[in-house]
Each structure stands twice: as structure tokens, then as C-alpha cells.
Structure 1
């Protein structure tokens, strides 16, 4: 028999596992940044800078004292490293060994990278970095014009060497990757043993459930090719041994740790509003958000402008324990203005005045986080909410 959770209990368990909204914190801010990365398992890196980039935004959502310099400092201290999760990401250095299955698969050819391997060029690139130290793609001369990102031969060689584990990112310079030999980037004493398949599967399961509270095989194996059957088997084994519980939410089964259910005894700060990144770990699986939070979300920067309903880069808004709105905005760094191009409320927002107060409180910090000092509201849905919001922002 599985235990039944109401949808409200499931939502609460998910949010508390994500530390959203964040609980009160003591100690150094950078320590909370590291603990957030270790709890979530990864922080997705994204290049879009309409507002602060996703990796900064996701961490700021969980650590109000977050500084953009934290990631650079943690990389320098060898506490986190860059590699691939379901996308480019910052990962906890303590989990380094679990990046090795993918690296080895790419090294041996069991898994294909999107760039073809030029073995001689790769050897040449490795030799230069070995002798000269860390280098960027632009340090390799290429005379011919190329159109596509990453299509310069040296860039392809660097990325192949990076993905198969022979190079790592030692730091970034103006957001450009700086590559170095793996042995010069890794800290002393780091575990470099390749996990067994069973160890790797258990790591995937435990990492996902720690960060997300509850999960299914399809969610845990998200964008990991050919892993779902093995994840399913491992979940069944962990459930049979009592390591995991199977709970029912709206008729569907989810796995969780027995101790995770104690989170339901903790309060959730529903009054606190959080403006989230489209690439936040909470939201990255859109189907899951629709099922558990009844929130149909799509980032629209990748679709033609005429087909956009909410705007280029709408940010999900968490309030009252639910995803209650989305806000398309842009930070104009030259004028220090945060433009709210379109704020759209969900039908579930009954107390618009309370929502407006919570939003204005959060916008103060969000505006500063985006290096802006002024807010301009251009459009809201419903349209009459614009007047209410503008009045409170004055």
C-alpha cells in the first residue's frame, strides 16, 4: 500500500525541497550558495542576458545574499566545476566522479558528440595547453570565416576534449570558457574512480529526490538516453528494501525518501513571492509543472514573435505556494530601468491586492539584483492591474 498525498502536500514537499521561498539563513552567503548547488545537484548555465543570467538568477532565488562573484570564487576554490547535466551546468565538485560515465562514453565512442573528432588537431590543442597553460578558443588562429557557433575547428577540438574529460574549464573570462588540463583543475584527493552502473543509478535517483522531493522514473531519467529502464529497476529495488516510499498524488505514483515526508511538518512561507528564472531547476521539466502545479509554461524566446502570448522572456512567479503569474521583463543596463513588458496573472489569483504587495516587495530586491534603479510597467493582464501596480511602485 502506498501513502496518499494531497496535491497541496505534494506541492509543499516539492517547494521545501527546493528551498523556495528560501528559509532564513545564518553564516556566510557564499556557503549558502555552495549548499544550494549541492542540494540541487546542478545549476544550468544560459547565455541569455535579458535579465541576470539563469545561473545567477536560480541561486539568487534561494539565497537573497547571493553575489554574482560567488560562482567564480567557488570555481577558483575548486568547490564546483562546469560540465554537462541535461545542459551546460555548474556541478558540485564532490560529485565529480559521477560525470565520468558520460565522459568515458564520449571518449570511447560509445556516445557521440555533436562535433566530429579531428584527432590530430585535438592532440595539437592538448600540446599547446600543456605547454602554454589555460587557453580560450580565440587563442587558436582560424583564418576562414565561419557562420555557426562552435564551427571553428579549434573550438570543436576544445569542446570534444572538454566533453570527454581531458580538459576542464578553469575559469571564464567575459563569459568565454578558459580551458586547461583536467589534472591541473581538479583538487587534490578528489575521487576519480568510475562508478559502477548501480552506483551511478543510485546517485541519479538520490540526487533527484533530494532536490525535488518526489519523482518518477521518467523525470529522473530526463534527457538521459537509454536510462529509464535501469532507473525503473533501481527504484523498485530501493522501494523493496524500504529505502524509498511510494506515494500517490492524484492517482499517480511518485517515489520519495521516508524522511522527506517530515518536511510537511515545516511551515512554508506562502506570503513570500519569488520571481524565478525560466531555467530554474523547479521548472525545467514543463510537463511535471503542469501536472503538479497546474502551470502551463513555455519560454517564448525560441518561437516567432507573432506567436508569443506572454513575451520574449517571461519569468514564472511563485506566490502563496503556487505558480501564480509570469512576467516578461528586460533590464536596460544603460538607463538602469527594469521594463515590465507584460505581467500576466493566472486565474487563481483571488486576492490581487495581497499579490501586488508581495510583488512590489520582491521587485525591490529583483531590481537591484539586475543593476537597475527604476521600474516601468508597460502591460498587465488583466489590464486594470497596471494602475494598481504602478500606484504601489511609486
Structure 2
């Protein structure tokens, strides 16, 4: 059976799947379980991505120390590829990690640096956990600069070993990762899955987090997970999470949410355009004269529509949240204006600052 949905229904499915409906979540690990990944990024005009993503779901009750405890002490979350993920996903990821890399150039670099690889593992075994700066660069072959990392080959080697499941991030010192052997970071009693079964279950988890996704989307790959669906006015075929369909007719009115530019809801840009009619562009890397809404403006979601952009920055010296502008994509009525202002006050309260006059 193919489900026939309106765009309104599809948007409500997405908002609920992303835990941005009226009823706020209450638990950091529970949010991670539902979202699958919480992006890590240090850009902190307001707060780093991992914290604003959780605040937008949990509200002012969110305490950043709870995230750190879940990652570094309780080991209920782990860091991988620039995001915190629930440990329940790890056994589904390990079969693909054990086959990595599949790209010939990456394989050649690893094979050519076999001695370096063994030296990094030996040092971690003897002295870990360590920062990358604690490990000597003895690479025989250097990777060409990629614009993101410098000439030191320790960081790419650690990233490669993490991709293979050999090493893991044990914690952070400020924004710097501390590395250790994966066997000392990951739980020892994880279930085992064959590669195809793990891939199928991983697609189901991706669809659970998305709610609905294009059947052949490179942004949100879900394979044959869920059930087929069509959306009024859109030609492409979709897959929908059957559990999300149970509450598709329930419209609780939603709430206001400020989304960090690296929030997972914003990742699938084609889906944003199709369902939300929101053509989102991150202006962080644009020259200043070309910016329309500011360096790191946060999209404003109201219910199931994007209505504006919050251009704001924390002034830590004066303990103020300075709101440069609230850019209205759709004109606010008095009630909507009041809702946005109330959310700004809540944001400042969570940050421990006042709103600048």
C-alpha cells in the first residue's frame, strides 16, 4: 500500500520525528536515540551546535554537563564523524566500519603508512588516552592538503582508524579530542550483525529520525525502510516511517524553535524546499556584503513552517544576548511576535545572560 499524504501531513511527520513538536523531550540520551546524531561544531555565536540542538528539544532544563557525562562517563553516547551518536547504533555501524576503506586512494595511503599506523596504535595502547598532539608524526606518505587539516598526518590517521573501528574518541579537552583504543571506549558486549542486516536496520533508524524521506535521497539514504508514500504536488517517491503515520492527523499547534544552522532537520536541503518551501543557505562562508541574514543566523521554526531567521550573538563580557535582528520570512501577527520574543527570553535564561535592550 502506498500512503498518500498532503504537504501539511508530511511536515508534521518531520517535525515530530525531529522532536520539535509542542511536547518537549526530557532526556539527553533519549533525544540522541531519536535523532541518531547530534552534530558537533564549535561555532558559538550563541552556543556550540551540540548544545543548541539539545536546547531546542529540551528547553532551559538542558544542562551541558549531562551531555558530557553521557559521553565520557556513562558511555551511552559516542563521538563519530563529528557527531554524538547513541551506542545502540554502534553495532549497526561496525560491519561497514570493518570493510572501510573502499576508496582505492584511501587504501593506498593506509597501506603505505602501515608502520605509522602500528606506531600510533602502540602508543595509544601504552599511554592512551592521548591528544593528537601527543603522538609523533612518523608517516611515510603524506596526504595532500584538503583545506581543513594541516600537514600533520596524525589527525588523518586517527580519523582513518576511527572509521575502521580501531580507535575511538574517549573524551575532549576543550575542543580537542582525546583518543584511545576502541576496545577501551566502546562496550564489550555489543550484539553482532551481518553486513546486510546491519545496513537494513541502520536505514530504519535513519527513517525513524527523518520521519519521511525521498526513496532515493543521497541526503537521507533510507533504502527500502518503512512504507512507500506520495506527497501531493511532488512527483518523487517517498518512504515514510509507519510509526509516524499513527499520529499524522494530530495537530497540536506546535511551538517556536530556534535551529542551529547545523541542526539535522536542515541537512536535507531538497526536502526542506519540497516540504517546507524553505530554501536555506548557510551564510557563514559568504563574504559579508553578500549576507542577507547574518554570519550564523538561526532559522526560526513555528509549528511546521519556517517563519524567520534569528540573527543574534552572546556578548560574554557584558553577559548579554544581543539580538541584531529577527528577520521575518512571513509577517508575524502579534501573537507570533510574542511567541518569538518569549523564546528569546528563554534562550537568554538558559545561557545565563540578559537580553540586550
Q: TM-score, normalised by structure 2?
A: 0.88
Report if the CA contact (8 A) 2:89-2:202 is conserved: no
Is the alpha carbon distance of 1:129 and 1:320 closer, same or farther for their aligned partners in structure 2, counting shifts above 3 Å?
closer
CA drift at 1:184: 0.6
Cα shift at 1:102:
4.1
* Separation (CA, whole Å) in 2 of partners of 1:153 and 1:215: 38
Query: Which structure 2 segments of 5+ residues have no match?
Result: 139-144
What is the total number of aligned residue pairs between the two structures? 345
For residues 53 and 261 of structure 1, do their structure 2 counterparts lie closer, same or farther at Cα, with a shift above 3 Å needed? same
Distance in 1 (CA, whole Å) between partners of 2:303 and 2:127 is 54
Equivalent residue in structure 1 for 2:68, among 67, 72, 96: 72
Residue 100 (structure 1) shift: 2.1
What corresponds to 2:142 in structure 1? none
Q: Does 1:35 align with 2:30?
A: yes
Change (3 A) 1:189 1:148: closer
Q: Which residue number in structure 2 is paired with residue 215 of structure 1?
A: 213
1:71–1:112 CA distance, 2 compared to 1 (3 A): farther
Cα separation, 2, equivalents of 1:3 and 1:134: 50
After superposing on structure 2, the runs of 4+ consecutive aligned residues of structure 1 that deviate more than 4 Å are 109-115
| Equivalent position of 1:254 in the other structure | 238
- Residue of structure 2 equivalent to 1:387: none
The answer for the alignment partner of 2:11 in structure 1 is 11
The answer on 1:268 being equivalent to 2:252 is yes
Q: Distance in 2 between matches of 1:342 and 1:273?
A: 16
Structure number with greater CO (CA < 8 Å, separation at least 6) is 2
Q: How does 1:143-222 map to 2 (within 5 A)?
A: 149-191=149-191, 193-197=192-196, 199-219=197-217, 221-222=218-219
Aligned-residue RMSD, C-alpha: 2.6
Task: Give the Å deviation of 1:111.
Answer: 6.3
Correspondence list, 1:1-394, <5 A:
2-24=2-24, 29=26, 32-64=27-59, 65-75=61-71, 76-84=73-81, 88-106=82-100, 109-110=102-103, 113=106, 116-117=109-110, 118-140=113-135, 149-191=149-191, 193-197=192-196, 199-219=197-217, 221-222=218-219, 232=223, 235=224, 244-252=227-235, 253-270=237-254, 272-346=255-329, 348-351=330-333, 353-376=334-357
The question of whether the paired residues in 1 share the 8 Å contact of 2:22 and 2:252 is answered with no
Write out per-residue CA displacement over residues 243-278 of structure 1, whole angstroms, 9 at most, x where no aligned residue: 6242333233322133321212434233x2111111
Whether the 8 Å CA contact 2:234–2:274 is kept in 1: the answer is no
Contact 2:17–2:211, Cα closer than 8 Å, also in 1? yes
Question: Which structure 1 residue ranges, 5 or more long, are not aligned?
Answer: 377-394
- In 1, the alpha carbon distance for the partners of 2:18 and 2:150 equals 34
1:180-217 superposed Cα distances (whole Å, 9 cap, x missing partner): 011111123122x35322x2332243112211221112
